[in-house]
Amino acid sequence: MGLLIRNGEIVTGEDRYFADIYIENETITSIGKELPVPDGTEVIDATGKLIFPGFIDPHVHIHLPFMGTFAKDTYATASVAALIGGTTGLIEMCCPSRNEDALQAYALWKSKAEGLSACDYAFHMAVTHFDETTEAQLREIVADGTTSFKIFLSYKGFFGVEDGEMYQTLKLARELGVIVTAHCENAELVSRLQQELIEQGKTGPEWHEPSRPETVEAEGTGRFATFLETTGATGYVVHLSCEPALKVAMAAKARGVRLAVESVLPHFVLDRTYAERGGLEGAKFVMSPPLRDKRNHAALWEGLETGVIDTVGTDHCPFDLEQKAMGKDAFTLIPNGIPGVEDRVNVMYTYGVKRGGLSIHRFVDALSTRVAKLFGLYPRKGAVAVGSDADLVIYDPGWRGVISGAKGSETHHVNNDYSGFEGVEIEGRPSAVLVRGQVQVRDGVFVGEIGRGKMLRRKPMVEYMGNVNGD
């Protein structure tokens, strides 16, 4: 049986127009006005609504062993929360520690998702060491359809790689046509600063940001760009948080380095004063890179509008307050992360499109289309086009609400006990969300099928930047 969406306004990264959409066998089969309605067709009236391509979060953590504990979500909870918030695709970081086997970790991460996700998903494979077995394992993982890597220039001794390992990873990635995402800091500087602050008795969450200052992030961004330039690899900076790091990335792009930039939701709307509240209240807002001085917001919003910042993710990583309290005696023991997978679309629409200077087309591009292009999913995903998967968000711009972190509330379905966006006003939310033609959400309620989501196997793409630019 087919499905027809009629009377809606389609909005993509480039166009805005009124048309009907007919869906059959999980894909969009026709777009036009006054489309015929075959017998038995389900009809959704989208009058007064916007129709977006399904949004894709390029940076989430669902299964994550970290700092002696585990992130609270499962795919059953995270995917439902994502869909209610308008995100129809997740790209999770598969993050083994330095002493774990990459293939075993990859199999474990896949097993945590298989049959449990309500939306489609893919992975970035973290390279946390590079020894005599690594190259063969990474080739096998790429052959399985995971065609993006992740490296950490932080978390010394746990996730972090040395410069020589970064070089080897980038050389292999260049050969395979794989894009490498990178957490850009300086592990040695962070380690030294943390040690000094703790020794001085500066143990509260307000000292997390001074232990990883903007200069450290800018240095890491510059070092990553230099290695990309030297190896010819393609890179992607994750969760860039501040103007100094953005200037470094802009300079690298200007001289031809194949580099894309991601910022994440918290860095657009929150600032360091949240973590400076101290105690458990401040611990809620500890993430890395840290929340920054508010002066950075203008630079990030401008960078997003101009396209220098390519994408917006969340770095979704939910920990309960009990877990955050592990760092009550030392900020270095606070599990890093702020949940956000449910809030990204609505908050960015409200404070970017409705109340800010972000164009609606750049909004769609950054949260959907460019993600799909960078990571080998376009035009299957990230598009409203004949032949594309029918991942669609029917959006109600007239809805009004306030985010609450209470479990069971209308705006909180993530499996942890607080929201980093408590009390934030929202203008607009999805009224219906489709995954490959099946309605999974109606008016903020999950009505679909756990397990509908499939792993998205991707092909290596040598010319990433050209693909982003439409070449």
Whole-angstrom distance, CA of residue 74 vs CA of residue 451: 12
Paired with 396 in beta bridges are 429
- pTM across the whole model: 0.97
Taking alpha carbons only, the member of 257, 46, 288, 58 closest to residue 153 is: 288
pLDDT bucket at 115, cuts 50 / 70 / 90 = very high
Higher pLDDT, residue 448 or 97:
448
The amino acid at 60 = V
For 345-375, how does the pLDDT look when each residue is reduced to its tens digit (9 = 90+)? 999 999 999 999 999 999 999 999 999 999 9
Kindly provide the residue ranges of all beta strands, DSSP E only, lying in 48-174, ordered along the sequence. 50-53, 55-60, 65-66, 69-70, 87-94, 120-126, 148-152
**Residue 314: in which H helix or E strand, if any?**
none
Q: Does the pLDDT value for residue 264 go beyond 60? A: yes
Q: What is the spatial order of strands in the sheet that 148-152 belongs to?
A: 55-60, 87-94, 120-126, 148-152, 179-183, 235-237, 259-264, 311-313
396 CB neighbour count, 10 Å cutoff: 17
Kindly provide the residue ranges of all beta strands, DSSP E only, lying in 250-315, ordered along the sequence. 259-264, 311-313
For 116-162, how does the pLDDT look when each residue is reduced to its tens digit (9 = 90+)? 999 999 999 999 999 999 999 999 999 999 999 999 999 888 888 99
Give the pLDDT score at 462: 56
Give the pLDDT score at 465: 57
SS3 65: strand
Whole-angstrom distance, CA of residue 162 vs CA of residue 173: 16
Quick one: tokens of 152?
Answer: 């950490």
Whole-angstrom distance, CA of residue 139 vs CA of residue 460: 11
Q: Does the pLDDT value for residue 17 go beyond 50? A: yes
Q: Does the pLDDT value for residue 67 go beyond 80? A: no
Give the pLDDT score at 471: 44
Give the pLDDT score at 470: 47
Axis crossing angle, helix 163-176 with helix 134-143, rounded to the nearest 10: 40
Dihedral of the alpha carbons of 189, 335, 134, 101, in degrees to the nearest 10: 140
Taking alpha carbons only, the member of 7, 11, 1, 8 closest to residue 345 is: 11
Q: Does the pLDDT value for residue 467 go beyond 60? A: no
Q: Does the pLDDT value for residue 453 go beyond 80? A: yes
The amino acid at 85 = G
Quick one: tokens of 241?
Answer: 């948080």
Higher pLDDT, residue 33 or 67:
33
- CB-CB contact of 173 with 179 (8 Å): yes
Q: Does the pLDDT value for residue 442 go beyond 80? A: yes
Q: Quick one: DSSP state of residue 420?
A: T
Whole-angstrom distance, CA of residue 131 vs CA of residue 168: 10
407 CB neighbour count, 10 Å cutoff: 12
CA atoms within 13 A on the CB side of 352: 28
Can you give the length of the chain in residues? 471
Q: Quick one: DSSP state of residue 180?
A: E
Give the pLDDT score at 468: 58
Whole-angstrom distance, CA of residue 435 vs CA of residue 458: 18
For 401-418, how does the pLDDT look when each residue is reduced to its tens digit (9 = 90+)? 999 988 778 889 999 999
For 368-403, how does the pLDDT look when each residue is reduced to its tens digit (9 = 90+)? 999 999 999 999 999 999 999 999 999 999 999 999
SS3 181: strand
- CB-CB contact of 74 with 112 (8 Å): yes
Q: What are phi and psi of 407, to 5 degrees?
A: -60, 135
Q: Does the pLDDT value for residue 276 go beyond 60? A: yes
Q: Does the pLDDT value for residue 293 go beyond 70? A: yes
